[in-house]
Structure 1
Amino acid sequence: MFKDKIDCILTKSQFKFHDLYTSVEKWREEFDKEAYGYKRTFNISEYDATFSELEDTTVMAYQPLQTLSFSGDGIKRLCAPTADSYVAACKSVEGFLKYRGICSEDDKGNDIEWSEYPSYYQAMYYNHSLFNDEFIKKKIKQDLKSAKERAYVGKITVKGNYQTLTPDLYALMQHIFGLPVTGLLKYNQIYSNYWNHHLEGTPYVDIIRSPHIAQEHSPVMAVTSGEMEKWFAYQKTGIIVAVFGNTVALKLNSADFDGDHVLTVDNPVICEEAMKQFSNTIYHEKIEYPYAGKKGNKKVIVSDLEKVVDCDYKGYKNNIGNVINPISTLWSLEGPDTVQDYIKIMSIVGSITIDYAKHGEEANIPKCILELLKKHKKPYFMKYLRSGRKRRSMEKELKAVNELVDASIISELFDNTDCTMNQICHYMEEKIGNINMDINAEEEFHWENLIPSMPPDITSHRYKNVRDKLVEMQEWLYEINNAKYNDTENTNESNRENQRKYGSLYEYAKAELLSVNHDESELLDMLITIYYSDKKFMEKYRDKSILWGCFGEGLVERVKCGFSHVGNPDMDRLVKRGQKAEKYLKDYKKYKEDNYQIWEFENEKNAAREVALYKEDIKWIKKSIPTKTERYTDCRRLLLVLIYTCRKCNADSISIIHNKNNRITKTALCKLADIDRRYFDRDIKILEELGLLAISVDKYNHLLLQDIQINENYSEVLSRGVHYRDLTGIVKDKIREKVTSSVKNDCA
C-alpha cells in the first residue's frame, strides 16, 4: 500500500456504477474525460463532527417511541425530566434560557452560537429586565406554547446524539488481505469512543435510524479492549458495528455505510423496552412472477442528462411522509396480528420509496392497508403535529358551532386509543398542560438606557421622515403577518416560507430606513424613541419585529452597554439587497392578491351581479347596533359585510365553510370586515341577540347564518359595482374605530 501510494480503498458498494465498465482502466479513461465543461475529481464531500462537537443530549421523535410499549412508571421516568425542565422554564428567565438551549451552568456568553437564536434572547441573556418588554414577553409565551405542543408529540429530551454508522474496518481489512475474518466486535457489540467516555451504569445503548417504521430498534452493548483502542485509535467519533449475525445495518431498515447517521441513546427506559420487545429483521425477498412477463433492466447512461434529471425528479417526488404518517395510525390500533403484518409491509414500502433513485422501482401502499386506514382516525397525539393543525382547527370549529347552537355535532376527529404515543401525550398534558408562564423579573425595564446620551429631537424633519418610513414598513409587516384574520392553529406555510418572508422584509426595511438617515446609531436612537414613547404609534403598532430584525445586533451591544458609534453603512450594497427584497415582497403581495378569490362571489351564478352600497345602509347599521353595544364597531363592520354578501349571492343566509381555501370562511369574513377573528363567534352572537340574524347549522355541519336583516330603504348611492376586494377599504372608511388618547398597558 505504501509503495503504490494508495490513499483510499473503495468497497464495491462505494464504487458506484462499477458494473458499467469492463475494467478499472476503462473507468479511468471515462473518469478523465471532460463533461459539460467539468473535469471530474475526487473530493471529500462531507466529514463527521469532531468529538468536542458532539451533543450530549438530543430530542426524541415520536416514530421510535410509538413502536415500543411502556408501563405507566416507564412513561413517567422517560418524560419527567422534560416536564421538569418545562416547569422551570416557566418560572424564571434563567430557566427559560436553559430550556431554550441558550445556556447551561458552564456556558459563557462568548461560547454561545448566537446566530441560532433571536437577537432579543441574546439581549435578555445579558439583561434579564428585558423580559418586562411586552414584545419579548409575548415571544417567550409563543415559544413556550410551541415547546408544550412539541412535548405532547414525544419531543422528549434524552442523553444521546447522532453519529456516523461505521462497519468494523478491522474485519474489512482482514477480508481485503485474504485473512480469516474474525473482526474485533462480536454480535450486537459496538465500539464508540463517545460512549466509552459517557456511559454510566448499564453498558447498553439503543441505535435508532430514521425513518423508523417497524420497531427497528437495535439495543447493543458498547465495548472496548486494548486491541480496539489500538486499531480504532483515530476513530474518535462514529458508531462502529460488528459484521456478524443479524447485522445492525440490516436491522436499521437497510442502512448503508456511506454516511448514514444514526441516533444512539442510553436512556434506560428505552433500552430496557427495546431489549424486551426485540424484533427480528424484516427481510424483503423480491419474487419474479412467472406470468408478469420479462422486463428488461434498463440502465441509464450517466451522460444522458435528460434521463438522469428525470430519474432524480421521480426520486425526490416520492414522499416518504406518505408512508410514515399512516404508520402511526396502524401502531395506534389494538387488534390482531394482521396489523403487525401490515406494519412490516409498510416497512418494505418505505425502504423502496427511499431508495427509488438507486433502483428506479416504485412501491404503492396495498389496497387492503388503505381500506383499513380509511376505517380509523389518526391517533389523538397527532393533533399537535404541524400536519394535524388543519384537522385540529376543524375540531375546534365544530366545538365552537356546538357551543353556539347546541347542535350535538360529533367534534372529535382523532382516536383516543390506548397506544403508546397517546399515553405519552396525556402524561405531558397532565404535567404541563396547565402550567403557564409565571416569570418575575424584578428589575424594571428602562428603555431610556438603550439611548447613549440625549434623546433625538422629535420635532426635527428627519425624525418625522423616519417615523413615516417606519409606519410604511409596519404596514408591510401587517401585510405579511395577517395574524388578525387567521386561525393561528391552521397555517399551511412552512418555516422556510416564513423565514424568507420576514428575512426579505428586514432587508427591505433596513435599506429604506437607512436611506432616510444614513447614521445607523442616530437612526437607532430614533427608532427606539418611536417604539417606546410615541403613544399614537404605540396604539397602532405593537409589534417590534422590525426593530429587532433589522438592528438586533446594535441593540444587543447597547444592552451590554457597548455604545460604540456606528456611522454610515455601505449604502450601495444595502440598497441593492433592499431592492431585491422589495421585489420579492411586492411579488408576494401580488401573488396573494391574484390568488385571493371567494368562490361564492366568483361562480357563474353570482360573478356578474353588481352590488351597490348606500348611505342609508350605514345609517341603518349604526341605528341597529347602538354605541352602547359590546364590540359595536366590529359588529357594525361585520353586518355591512354580511349585507354585501347577501346582495352578491342574492340570499338571506350564508354558510360559513370550515377551513377551505377560496370560500366564505370566518377568516375571509374577518378580512373583509377588518376585524379580529378571535372574537368572531362573540360578534355573531351579539348580532343574534340584537335580532339581526339567526344562527344554525347546515346539512354539512357548517355554521349557517340565517334570516340576515338587510336594509331595504335606500336611495342615495354610496358606492356602485363594489368588488369584494375593495370592500375592506369602504368598511374601514365608513365605520371607523373610536379614537382614544390612552395607551394600553400591553403595548408591545
Structure 2
Amino acid sequence: MHAPKSYSVRKFPLKLLIDHQYHLELTPREEQLYLVKQQDNQLFRLIRSITGNSGEFQPCLVFVNCKGGKSYESELFTLIRVGLWLGGRHYVISERSASMTRSGILSFIDETIGEEVNRRITMEIHMEHTVLSKYYAYRGLLLSSCHCLENWYPKIVIVPDYERVIPAQKIRFAVDQKICFTDKNGAERDWVQKEIAQDTVDVRINVFDGSGIHHPAITARVRELTGSRTAPTTILWRAPYIKGVTHEMDYETFYRERGVDRITDVWGREHDFSQPMILMTESMYKGKKYFEQHKDYTDWERYWECFRKFGHCIGVAKWNYSVEEEPLYTRANYQILQDLNLSYQDFASLARYSIGWAERIVSGDPLTACCFLGLFADTPEESLNDYTRAVLKNSEMLKEDGVRSYLISLLRKYRDDFKCGKLFLKSAFKFLTADPILLMEHIGGLEPTGALQADEFYSFDIHGPYRGKRLIERNPHICRSEHVILNAVTNDLLDRYCSHLSNTCIINGKSITPQRLNGADFDGDLVLVVDEPVMLKGVDPDIPIVMDMEDKATAMEEPDTPEGRALMIMRTMNNIIGETSNCATVYHNKMPRTPEQKAVYESYIDLLSIINGKAIDYAKTGMLYQIPRNIAKYGHTLPYFMKYAGPYYSSLKEFSRSQSNLNRLCLELEKWDKTLRFAKPCAQFDYRIMLDPDITVPAGTFEAVEQIYLDFCREMGELGREQSMIRNYDKYKDELDGRITRKDAQAFLINWQFYYDKYRNACKEVCPDAKLLANIAVLLCYEKYPKKNKKFIWRVAADGLLENIRARDGLFPLLDEQGQIDPKGPSPIPVCEENDADRETYEYLGKRYRLSPYLEASQNQTDNSNHLTINQAEEVIYDR
C-alpha cells in the first residue's frame, strides 16, 4: 500500500492568530516554519480544478490548531465567524475531517473561491433544517486522505440494508439517575447523571453497516488506477456523501449457480450482470436523504448528474495488505492488557517475546539486527544510511561500538513502549468484515443463512487459515466485555469465495460482536486479532455486554446558518476521548480492597466505555455524555507505567504506584532496560577492518585531528550533562540558576547537527583527505582513547570510513517463500527448522527468512512489500 501524494499547507496555532488579531503578515522564510505535509484528498482536488494550480504548495487552504481552545472560547468563536487574514487574503471557515475534529483542527479557505467550493461540495443541495453535526461530518469526508481516481465512473448499485434481531442478550447500559448533593455554598441541589443498569433484551443490528461487495474486475481496475503493487481486494471508498468498504466477491458465479440473474436496488430497480458492479449497502450512501425528491431511482440518477456537473471523482482511501505484507506480530497497547484477570507470572510472560527481540538486536545477532534495520538481501541501495551501508559492506560492523550504539538508540522508543504495555503479541490488525456469503444471499433475495455461526469468524495469514479460539480487540478498548472471543473456522464456501480476502477478519452476522467492540461497524474499522493463549485465560466470556442502547441517537435538527454552524463547531471542540480513556485506566489499576469496591470500580469503567463511544462519534451525532462527578473525582492520578505513554505523561509529577500487573511489569522492565543499555558486547570486534593499511598517517595531521577530537569529547560531555539536567528540571532547578524556566525546559532541544557540522568542518580543514581522516579517527577512538566518545568516527569521517571498511561477502535475510504456507493450497508446506541442513530458515516477528548474499541493484526487486519494517507497517496501520 502506498500513500497519496503529499502537499504543503500552512498550519498555525490558534494563539498566534489571537496575538495578531487574526491578521498575519509573514515573510516567505517565516511561513516555512508553519508548513506541514498533508496527503491528497478530494477537497484539495476541487481547489486545484477551480484555481488551475497543481503545484505542491496549497495556498488556498490554511489549517489552525485549536487544541486548548476552551481557554479562548470567545476568541475562537470570533475566528470561526469572521475568519483570518494572511498576506492580505481573507480565509473563511471550511471543512473538517473526523480526525481533525478529534484533534481540534479547523480549516479555512480563501474567500475568493470559498463560495464556489461550497457550491461543488453541496452539489447545490440546501436544507432549511438538518442535524448539522452529521451533515458537516459527511461534508468533511472530502478532507480524508485518498487516491483520486480521475474520469472513472463505475456502476454503483445501492442495495437495502439488512437488519436482524439478536435475542436475549444480557447487557449493561447507561441510564439517567437523579442524585442530590450539597454544593460549595451549602445549598442542596439536584443533579442528573448517567449510571449503569443491567437487563436482558433483544438487540436489533444492521448486519452490514457500512460495507458491501464489488466485482473482481473492479479490483483489477483500481489496482491499475492506483498503481498498487498488490491486488486491493478490500477497498475503502470516498465520494461525496459516500463512505464505506467493499470486498471483492465473485458474486456473478455465486448467483448463477443459485439461479439468480439480477438483483434489486433500494429503489426497486433491477440490475443484471452485464457489467461489473460495486454493490453498496444503503448505510454507505450518506446522501440518500439529502437527494431525496421522488423517492425512486431518479434520485440516484440526479446524484450522478450533480456528481459529473461539479467535477467530482471516486476516491480510494485505503486497501488491505496482501497476505505476504501483513505483519504476524503487532505491538498491542496497555488498554487491552490492563483488564486481563491474570496472575502476575502469567501476565509478565506476555513480555518475553519483546524482551528476547530487543536482546537479540543489542547482542548483534545478524539476522534480527538486519531485519530490524530493514537490511534485507534485496534492499535497494537508496534505502540505506551510513550505518547500514557499513554493515552491508561487512556484517562484522554490527559489533562496532558506533553501530551498536545506533541500534540501542533506535531501540530506546521500543524499550520505553514496552514499559507501558506496548508489547509484541502474535496478532495483526485487520479490516472488520461482515460475512460476505450472508451479504450475497441477502442482496440476491436468497435465504440469509451465511457461512458462519454466532461464535465463529474466518481469517488467515501467510501460514494458512486460522483455527481455534482467538481474541478480537479494538482501539480504544475501555472495559472487560470488549474482549471478544471467537472460534476461527473454515469451510468450503469460505475457502471458495473468501480465501483471497487477506488482512480481513470476517465475522458472523448472528451475534452482536461489532456492538461489543465499542460500537464498531464495517466502514473501515480495524480490529486486532490476537493469538495469545495466556490472554484467553484472563478473559471472562460470560460477563454482561456493555452497550450503548442509543448509539444511533443524534442531536436535534436546526437551521443551516453561519451562526448555527459556528455554534455546532464550538460544541464539538470539546474532546473528552483522552480524558475518558485515562479515567478508565486509573480505575483499572486501582487495587480494590473488597469485592464490593471492585464491583463499583467495574461499574464506573463500564459507564466510561459508553461515554467514550459517545465522545468518538460526537462530531457526527452531536451527542455527548459527561463523566459523572463521582467518577471524575478520584479518576485523575494515573498509574506509574503511564509515564512512558508519551511526552505529556512523562512531564506529570504524580503517579499511582499500586501493585497492578502493568505497574509491576513496568518496574521490572526499568531494571532490565539498565542492564540492556550498559551490556557489554558478547563478541570481540576487530577494529582493523575499518583501517586502510596502505595509508601513511603524518604525525602533524594526526596531532591536529587529535586536538579537535579532544575538544569534541569535552563539548559533547558538557552538552550531554546540560541536557540531562534540563530533562530532570525539578532535580537540578537550583543548579540551572534561573537560566531556563520549566516551560522552556519541556520544549528544550539541542541542535546536535550544528555541533557535528562544526567538528566535521574543522577536521576537513586540517585533513581534506577523507580516507586519511577516517584512519586517524579510528586510531584515536580504538587505540589511543578507547574509553572516549566513538561517535566522532561517524560524525566527522563517515565518507572515508565507508571507503576504508574491508569488504566481505555476507549473508542477509531474505523472505523464504518456500518456508511459508499458501492459504489457498490444499495442504500446508512444511516450514524448515533451524537445524534443516539443506535449507536453514530463521524466524523474525513470525515470518521465516533464509540467509542470502546481497543482491546487486540490477538484480534487486524494488518491491519490498513482503518485509515492511516495523515503523512502515505501523504507519500504514495507524494512518487507516
TM-score of Structure 1 vs Structure 2, range by shorter chain: 0.5 to 0.7
1:18 is matched with 288
Within 2, Cα distance between the matches of 1:501 and 1:7? 56
Within 2, Cα distance between the matches of 1:458 and 1:154? 54
Are 1:175 and 2:442 an aligned pair? Answer: yes
Contact 2:469 2:486 (C-alpha < 8 Å) held by counterparts: yes
Contact 1:61 1:155 (C-alpha < 8 Å) held by counterparts: yes
1:653-692 mapped onto 2 (5 Å cutoff): none
- TM-superposed deviation, 1:12: 2.1
Within 2, Cα distance between the matches of 1:19 and 1:148? 51
2:585 is matched with 328
Q: Deviation per CA, 1:683-736: give whole Å up to 9, x if none.
A: xxxxxxxxxxxxxxxxxxxxxxxxxxxxxxxxxxxxxxxxxxxxxxxxxxxxxx
RMSD: 5.2
Are 1:439 and 2:715 an aligned pair? Answer: no
- TM-superposed deviation, 1:224: 0.5
Within 2, Cα distance between the matches of 1:114 and 1:308? 52
1:220 to 486, 502, 505: 486
Within 2, Cα distance between the matches of 1:187 and 1:33? 46
SS at match of 2:524: coil
2:524 to 249, 254, 259: 259
Going by fraction, where is strand more abundant, 1 or 2? 2
- TM-superposed deviation, 1:217: 1.2
2:54 is matched with none
Change (3 A) 1:530 1:237: same
Deviates more, 1:346-355 or 1:476-485: 476-485
Within 1, Cα distance between the matches of 2:606 and 2:661? 18
- TM-superposed deviation, 1:223: 0.6
Q: Could you tell me which amino acid in structure 2 is paired with residue 244 of structure 1?
A: K
Are 1:382 and 2:642 an aligned pair? Answer: yes
SS at match of 1:69: coil
SS at match of 1:274: coil
Change (3 A) 1:259 1:296: closer
SS at match of 2:534: helix
Q: Deviation per CA, 1:471-503: give whole Å up to 9, x if none.
A: 9999899989963543369999999998x977x
Within 2, Cα distance between the matches of 1:452 and 1:360? 73
Contact 1:456 1:525 (C-alpha < 8 Å) held by counterparts: no
1:243 to 490, 509, 514: 509
Are 1:61 and 2:337 an aligned pair? Answer: no
- TM-superposed deviation, 1:548: 4.8
2:308 to 26, 32, 36: 32
Within 1, Cα distance between the matches of 2:330 and 2:402? 30
Within 1, Cα distance between the matches of 2:570 and 2:694? 59
Structure 1 stretches of 5 or more lacking a match? 395-412, 564-748
Within 1, Cα distance between the matches of 2:655 and 2:523? 40
Contact 1:346 1:365 (C-alpha < 8 Å) held by counterparts: yes
Contact 2:778 2:793 (C-alpha < 8 Å) held by counterparts: no
Structure 2 stretches of 5 or more lacking a match? 1-270, 293-298, 731-741, 810-880
Within 1, Cα distance between the matches of 2:582 and 2:799? 41
Contact 2:394 2:808 (C-alpha < 8 Å) held by counterparts: no
Q: Deviation per CA, 1:386-435: give whole Å up to 9, x if none.
A: 3576457x5xxxxxxxxxxxxxxxxxx43232333224335546777656
Contact 1:192 1:239 (C-alpha < 8 Å) held by counterparts: yes
Change (3 A) 1:112 1:288: closer
1:94 to 358, 361, 365: 365
Within 2, Cα distance between the matches of 1:114 and 1:184? 47
Change (3 A) 1:175 1:560: farther
2:49 is matched with none
Change (3 A) 1:42 1:190: same
Q: Deviation per CA, 1:600-642: give whole Å up to 9, x if none.
A: xxxxxxxxxxxxxxxxxxxxxxxxxxxxxxxxxxxxxxxxxxx
2:500 is matched with 234
Contact 2:774 2:801 (C-alpha < 8 Å) held by counterparts: no
Contact 1:86 1:432 (C-alpha < 8 Å) held by counterparts: no
Q: Could you tell me which amino acid in structure 2 is paired with residue 120 of structure 1?
A: Y
Q: Could you tell me which amino acid in structure 2 is paired with residue 327 of structure 1?
A: A
**Kindly, what percent of the aligned residue pairs are identical?**
21
Are 1:156 and 2:427 an aligned pair? Answer: no
- TM-superposed deviation, 1:152: 2.7
Contact 2:402 2:794 (C-alpha < 8 Å) held by counterparts: no
Change (3 A) 1:474 1:263: farther
Are 1:270 and 2:535 an aligned pair? Answer: yes
SS at match of 1:561: coil
2:390 is matched with 123
Contact 1:68 1:420 (C-alpha < 8 Å) held by counterparts: no
Contact 2:453 2:510 (C-alpha < 8 Å) held by counterparts: yes
2:473 is matched with 208
Are 1:424 and 2:692 an aligned pair? Answer: no
Change (3 A) 1:231 1:440: closer
Change (3 A) 1:192 1:493: farther
Q: Deviation per CA, 1:139-165: give whole Å up to 9, x if none.
A: 455456655443332233221211211
Are 1:368 and 2:630 an aligned pair? Answer: yes
Q: Deviation per CA, 1:14-65: give whole Å up to 9, x if none.
A: 223332112112211221233xxxx311132211110011122222211100
- TM-superposed deviation, 1:227: 1.3
Within 2, Cα distance between the matches of 1:163 and 1:262? 5
Change (3 A) 1:551 1:6: farther
SS at match of 1:44: strand
1:579 is matched with none
Change (3 A) 1:120 1:40: same
Change (3 A) 1:102 1:49: same
Change (3 A) 1:448 1:53: closer
1:337 to 581, 599, 610: 599
TM-score (norm: length of structure 2): 0.49
Are 1:414 and 2:655 an aligned pair? Answer: yes
Within 2, Cα distance between the matches of 1:244 and 1:217? 18
- TM-superposed deviation, 1:348: 2.2
Q: Deviation per CA, 1:581-603: give whole Å up to 9, x if none.
A: xxxxxxxxxxxxxxxxxxxxxxx
- TM-superposed deviation, 1:239: 0.8
SS at match of 1:9: strand
Change (3 A) 1:86 1:485: same
Within 1, Cα distance between the matches of 2:475 and 2:381? 29
Change (3 A) 1:157 1:548: same
1:710 is matched with none
Q: Could you tell me which amino acid in structure 1 is paired with residue 289 of structure 2?
A: D
Q: Deviation per CA, 1:506-560: give whole Å up to 9, x if none.
A: 9x959x969989xxx976436535644569xx99x97676975799798667647
Q: Deviation per CA, 1:161-185: give whole Å up to 9, x if none.
A: 1121111112112222222211111
Within 2, Cα distance between the matches of 1:9 and 1:516? 66
Larger of the two Rg values belongs to structure: 1
Contact 2:333 2:423 (C-alpha < 8 Å) held by counterparts: yes
Going by fraction, where is helix more abundant, 1 or 2? 1
- TM-superposed deviation, 1:190: 0.8
> How many pairs align?
512
Contact 2:455 2:508 (C-alpha < 8 Å) held by counterparts: yes
Q: Could you tell me which amino acid in structure 2 is paired with residue 26 of structure 1?
A: R
SS at match of 2:365: helix
Within 2, Cα distance between the matches of 1:547 and 1:312? 55
- TM-superposed deviation, 1:127: 4.3
TM-score (norm: length of structure 1): 0.56
